[in-house]
A and B are shown apart, each in its own frame.
Chain A
Amino acid sequence: DQQVKQNSPSLSVQEGRISILNCDYTNSMFDYFLWYKKYPAEGPTFLISISSIKDKNEDGRFTVFLNKSAKHLSLHIVPSQPGDSAVYFCAASWGSARQLTFGSGTQLTVLP
């Protein structure tokens, strides 16, 4: 039951260029979407989020876009930096408990 999907297991980009990470979901009940970043041997760290009533949220170099009709969201990182190299997880939540359903992650490598 893959309610949240990240179809690209890995992505490599050059430093200074744009990184675009994609995520699709199937559950129409999701009303909040988050991106987490994870380094090896550490827990997921919150990066940026978006409510289902919005289509864009920006925080510095990070922008998340939500297309509800397509059940698709994306994370843009501009400009990409080598320190951005990590696994990025898309997650979604709904309901009173607000537990997160995670995608399988995308390993981003930013090449100097």
Chain B
Amino acid sequence: DIQMTQSPSSVSASVGDRVTITCRASQGISNWLAWYQQKPGKAPKVLIYAASSLQSGVPSRFSGSGSGTDFTLTISSLQPEDFATYYCQQAYSFPLVFGPGTKVDIK
């Protein structure tokens, strides 16, 4: 199975900050990576797919980049509603595997 890691595991940031989260796959997955946001008590919501494609309805302050094994999710200007946990997920092969998550909380 492909293993996914994320860093950092948590980050404290302020409204307006630029936040970057990194995801690494244990082997090359081309650009088959998705990013999800999850708020407490809610289902995850897809933000980015195919590494850099913005899901319909998601604000443009979210962006993704990368290919192969290293990927990045960037929030250009953190908003109050962005405090949440973010997961990457490889979509290259089954079983699908999620990263362990990165919690973004208020500084």
A, B: real partners: no
